[in-house]
Amino acid sequence: MKNLKFDKSGSSEFSKTLRNRVNAYFKGTNTSIYGDRSMVIKTIIMLSVFFVPLIIMSTGLISSPALIFAFYITSGLGMAGVGMGVMHDAIHGSYSKSKQVNKFVGYTMNLIGANASVWRIQHNVLHHTYTNVDEGDDDINAPFFLRFSPNAKRYWIHRFQYLYIWFFYGLSTVSWITMKDFVRVKRYRDMGFFNKEGEFGKELLKITGWKLLYYSYALVLPLIMVPLPAWIIVLAFFSMHFVTGICISLVFQTAHIIPDAVFPKADKDGLIANDWTVHQLATTSNYSPKSKVFSWLIGGLNFQVEHHLFPNICHIHYRELSLIVSQTAREYKVPYMVKKTFVAALWDHITMLRQLGRA
């Protein structure tokens, strides 16, 4: 990866004004930037939706294939809720002012089969810093049969990606719990992360240990206890992950892979046009800003602009912050993208996938 850096000679005044106004909001309302009791309640609910169906199945009292699928799919929805509304804030350090609490709650990422340390680099460092930038944002580094950036090489198969991509979105968390963390931890080691003496080996052991724990209660125990053929249990387990993969992929992808978003290329020296704040507004879009229920379910990620600008602030504050950000953006004539509904954002994402397949 190039030594990427942002141009700081541009709209620094906008950045300063915005941060001053956000700081003034929290000071004026005497509000903490971190989560409150509502985050604890959400954590309990999401973890319960994930774990309770698995616990019930592990009692061996359920023998109906339809119920097994229903329980696993329900657990998949809980898994998505934990990923978007619990661990996400914790790993960003915005769940609590206590670093220990954030670290502990961040382990919920490991409990659902992924790995917090790898995610922190992929998401917090690479995606949040270099959003939509080739060679920087690991979220747009896709296998050859998917094309998420107009700067990526196009193959004939991409003409059909808007049709088949849903299958791969559904498989995304299956890839995550099997091989992706191992592949990425090695790649990140080669990039300069996990390079302290013995750190890489320890991380591999941690990843392996957590995944063995996850498979033990999410798959092996039901295979032992549920009085049904193994293939039904395995298929239901995959259905759980398919639901989770679809939910998480659509929430994140519809905020960045859209026609209005910018996909900047760094110059030969690694310089990216725009300062970092303006770059986030140019590459990120909000959607469905008025739906409080939807926003609660997806951890406030419909306010992706605010999340990218202030990842250290808990998502429960994004709705109020969006008023400040949108007003400041209008004053400084900086783009502020927002779609009225999630359906509109999803349609934009499909449109972009088709354009990337043809262009």
Note the pLDDT tens digit of each residue in 17-56: 999 999 999 999 999 999 999 999 999 999 999 999 999 9
pTM of the predicted structure, to 2 decimals: 0.93
Which amino acid makes up residue 176?
Answer: W
Between 267 and 200, residue with greater pLDDT: 200
On whether the CB atoms of residues 150 and 158 are closer than 8 A, the answer is no
- Give the per-residue pLDDT at 272: 86
Q: What is the DSSP letter of 202?
A: H
- Give the per-residue pLDDT at 148: 96
Note the pLDDT tens digit of each residue in 143-187: 999 999 999 999 999 999 999 999 999 999 999 999 999 999 999
Q: How many CA atoms lie within 13 A of 342 on its CB side?
A: 18
The pLDDT of 322-343, averaged and rounded, is 96
Note the pLDDT tens digit of each residue in 84-138: 999 999 999 999 999 999 999 999 999 999 999 999 999 999 999 999 998 889 9
Note the pLDDT tens digit of each residue in 329-339: 999 999 999 99
Q: Is 180 exposed, middle or buried (0-12, 13-18, 19+ CB in 10 A)?
A: middle
Which of the four pLDDT bands, split at 50, 70 and 90, describes residue 273? Answer: confident
Using the predicted structure, report yes or no on whether residue 1 has a pLDDT greater than 60.
Answer: no
Q: What's the token pair of residue 54? A: 């698995």
On whether the CB atoms of residues 76 and 241 are closer than 8 A, the answer is yes
- Give the per-residue pLDDT at 289: 96
Q: Which residues pair with 204 in a beta bridge?
A: none
Weakest-pLDDT range from 10-14, 79-83, 242-246: 10-14
Note the pLDDT tens digit of each residue in 304-318: 999 999 999 999 999
